Structure 1
Amino acid sequence: MIRSTVAVLAGTLLAACGASTAPDQQAALNNKVDLRHLVETEVAGNGIERYPLEGVEIPTPSDAQSRYELLRQRRTAGDTIIAILRQQRGDRFVYARTEVDCARNLFHVVGVADTRAHVETNVAHDGPLRSTEGLPLRQELSRFICARASAT
């Protein structure tokens, strides 16, 4: 339910802004979660966090409008990494639970929510792990997550 809502909202927002392109429309059709614009959807919180958490800021030159933070990461039995991210833009914020395969440069989103607690259980599976090639924001996030995982 959330997955299709997020995809439709992302496509609608892009279309309303007149910035819709064929790749963006294709992403919406494939139910991909658009991390760059997720904070603009109804999933995002309104700036009132009951328990704000401090994470480690992730440098994201491809999205200078937002601040991305890594809140938590853990390695799975399948040797992928589950990472909890927070995107903040202005007074809006959203959380994403992602999975990264560092060895094969693969990434996908498995949950999104307006709170840290809900992102652990909400589902926004945007398809199987897939290449980050041609997706600068996902490449930046993946590189940072993988670098931190290999340092521990």
Structure 2
Amino acid sequence: TGVLATFTLLAGVTFWVGHATLSNVAIFEPIVGGFLVVFGVLVAVDRAPSLSVTLPKRRSSVAGFGIFGAGYALAAAACVAPMFLAVVGRAISLSTAEATLVLATYAGAMALLMVSVTVATGMGLLASAGSLAAYAGTIKRIAGVVMAIAGIGQLYVAFFVSAAA
């Protein structure tokens, strides 16, 4: 419910602001790409700043799970926002019934993927927590390299692919 409420709010903002205005979000591509390269290199050489946050105890209530879902959606929104905005932007031009079907299909697919990844991650952590701990430093360095490569890819898209379009 929290995830769906958050994405419904994002869809409402998209409808309100308009798809054309949101297409200017591409200006952030080189900024994000540069950040990913710099932060990835810092992680790879073990010089990244500590970004740990103490989380409050999660409430085991319907409201607590809703708040958790909303936070989960906000964290995921950074990854799925381009696709989400494209889907919502296209839905704006459809009839109400068609737009509802498109958005419901998107919401269902995203919910299925989020639940699947969450369950798989939880099961994987339970199954291999001890054996992976010995490789934490190596995994962290590899993650930094992957992050830097993703940033280089983002910069390539920003400067060569998007500029050509």
TM-score, structure 1 normalization: 0.24
Higher RCO (C-alpha 8 Å, min separation 6)? 2
TM-score, structure 2 normalization: 0.23
- Which is richer in helix? 2
